[in-house]
Chains A and B, each alone.
Chain A
Amino acid sequence: MSNIPSDLRYTTEHEWVRLEGDEAVAGITDYAQSELGDVVYVEVFEPGTPLTQFKPFGVVESVKAASDLFSPLSGEVLAFNQALEDTPELVNDDPYGEGWMMRFKPSDLAELDNLLTAEGYEKMLAG
């Protein structure tokens, strides 16, 4: 069974977001990492790049293929998780913790209403 922490919000494209003060952190879900298989490359847009909700903020690649990452909220990129440059497998090992991908500054918290709760995400996965 897939791990879906109850304190996060989710996109239908399998990204999660966690608010930390007036910043936010995003990554991909346990389900997404399991579907991708071994993650071998992560790239996030440069700090300062504007983000639009549900538009790309970077790319994740498994051995076989590349997939876009979609931003859970609008805002601006603050940082990429540099640890993923040498150890992208952190995404598989700890998708909600050390495998986080982007720290960013959200510009409109009202957009949270467009995201799924843990319960909603779980229902979506159950199909």
Chain B
Amino acid sequence: MGNQLKRTPLFEAHKALDARVVDFGGWEMPVQYSGILAEHQAVRTHAGLFDVSHMGEFEFIGRDAADFLNRITINEVKRLALGQAEYSMMLYPSGGVVDDLIIYRVDDEHFLMVVNAGNIDKDWAWVEEHLPKSGDLSAVNRSDRQALLAIQGPRAVSILGRLTDLDLGALRYYHITQGGVAGLAARVARTGYTGEVGFEVFVPPEQALALWEAMLTEGEAEGLLPCGLGARDTLRLEAGMPLYGHELHENIDPLSAGLGRYVAWEKPEFIGRDALARIRDEGPHQKLVAFEMVGRGIARQHYEIQRDGERVGEVASGTFSPTLKKNIGTGYVHSEFAVPDTRLDVVVRGRPVEARTVRLPFYKRPR
């Protein structure tokens, strides 16, 4: 295999737009085009277009698909109506997170699971390891056979709406449908990772370029900008959404991460349930907090968090918030300090800088 970086079908299109390209979890991806702040602002006020074809897609088809997914994920897939989606996770028996993901019920016995790009190989190995030896279930890793574009922002409905006959207004949040987009057969989901209204459009890789260009052209007059992973990260953090490798990883469970609402406790069994139940009963030792910097300085991942000079935790994510014009972050701290409006210090280059805990999300879209 070697260390060859993987590329999406749009790599050349990104280069043509003068994108700055970086290594992201083994993928050569655009981090920015015009600039992270301009792209972030475009998504909050107009629209942004993201190539997220690096994400992984697994399909599960058959009578036993729902039971299998219920065993390897924390949420309840049988609750999903046709065309509905849910946020979920796969856990290790320890309760630590294998990956966070979205499951779409695209048909009665047909589910689509979208996983993080950097985790595709690990996730697929985990799935295969737990597949039943017999039964009516076909599981396929279609990650190389799916391109995925996300159009996000207040103008996304009108821009995408002109490219499709689908009734986008009727497509509810966390739902998916099928239809023609720019003359291409596509799946369209009302999901995203920005805190804005938006859609994710799945097409085969051969059609990614045509879709990308159609959306860019259609959106230009409405202020749509191509957006890279830099803006994707600042947008998701403002919206309070976790990122695997930061807020979630193999040593963090969903309860510590404040994501207990996605655990379907009514399921008698799923991988990681026993450990989670113990954590629930004892209470997590550490919890995720959100904070704003009060003193001057930007928190970054792994910076120490102190309380009265004592180490009480570590930063998970930190950045300048383009919308709030403040420095914001998340971190794991001893549970007793995971309370809003608590004074903490983030150690920035050896110096404790005052921070104050706040409630997530940092940003909520105006309705």
Assess whether A37 is in contact with B32, with CB atoms less than 8 Å apart: yes
Is B297 at the interface (CB under 8 A from chain A)? yes
Assess whether A63 is in contact with B349, with CB atoms less than 8 Å apart: no
The residues of A that contact B319 with a CB separation of less than 8 Å are 63
Docked Cα-Cα span, A38 to B228, in Å, equals: 14
Assess whether A63 is in contact with B296, with CB atoms less than 8 Å apart: no
Docked Cα-Cα span, A65 to B230, in Å, equals: 11
Docked Cα-Cα span, A54 to B131, in Å, equals: 58
Docked Cα-Cα span, A85 to B297, in Å, equals: 11
Docked Cα-Cα span, A42 to B320, in Å, equals: 12
Given A37-B230, A40-B320, A59-B349, CB of A66 within 8 Å of CB of B35: no
Docked Cα-Cα span, A66 to B299, in Å, equals: 10
A63 and chain B: residue at smallest CB distance: B36
The residues of B that contact A40 with a CB separation of less than 8 Å are 37, 298, 320
Assess whether A63 is in contact with B234, with CB atoms less than 8 Å apart: yes
B residues 328-361 in Cβ contact with A at 8 Å:
349
Docked Cα-Cα span, A63 to B323, in Å, equals: 13
Is B103 at the interface (CB under 8 A from chain A)? no
Is A98 at the interface (CB under 8 A from chain B)? no
Q: Which of A38, A41, A61 contacts B36 (CB 8 A)?
A: A38
The residues of A that contact B230 with a CB separation of less than 8 Å are 37, 63-64
Interface of B is mostly: mixed
A92 and chain B: residue at smallest CB distance: B35
The residues of B that contact A15 with a CB separation of less than 8 Å are none
The residues of B that contact A64 with a CB separation of less than 8 Å are 31, 36, 230
Docked Cα-Cα span, A120 to B68, in Å, equals: 65
Docked Cα-Cα span, A31 to B218, in Å, equals: 34
Is A76 at the interface (CB under 8 A from chain B)? no
Q: How far is the CB of A32 from chain B (nearest CB, A)?
A: 14
The residues of A that contact B20 with a CB separation of less than 8 Å are 37
B35 and chain A: residue at smallest CB distance: A38
Beyond the given pairs A38-B35, A63-B322, A64-B36, 8 more chain A to chain B contacts, judged by CB atoms under 8 angstroms and listed by A's residue number, are A41-B296, A61-B298, A61-B320, A62-B36, A63-B36, A63-B320, A64-B31, A85-B296
Interface residues of A (CB under 8 A from B): 37-38, 40-41, 43, 59, 61-66, 85
CB pairs A–B below 8 angstroms (23 shown): A37-B20, A37-B36, A37-B230, A38-B35, A38-B36, A40-B37, A40-B298, A41-B296, A41-B297, A41-B298, A41-B320, A43-B296, A59-B349, A61-B298, A61-B320, A63-B37, A63-B230, A63-B234, A63-B319, A64-B31, A64-B230, A66-B298, A85-B296
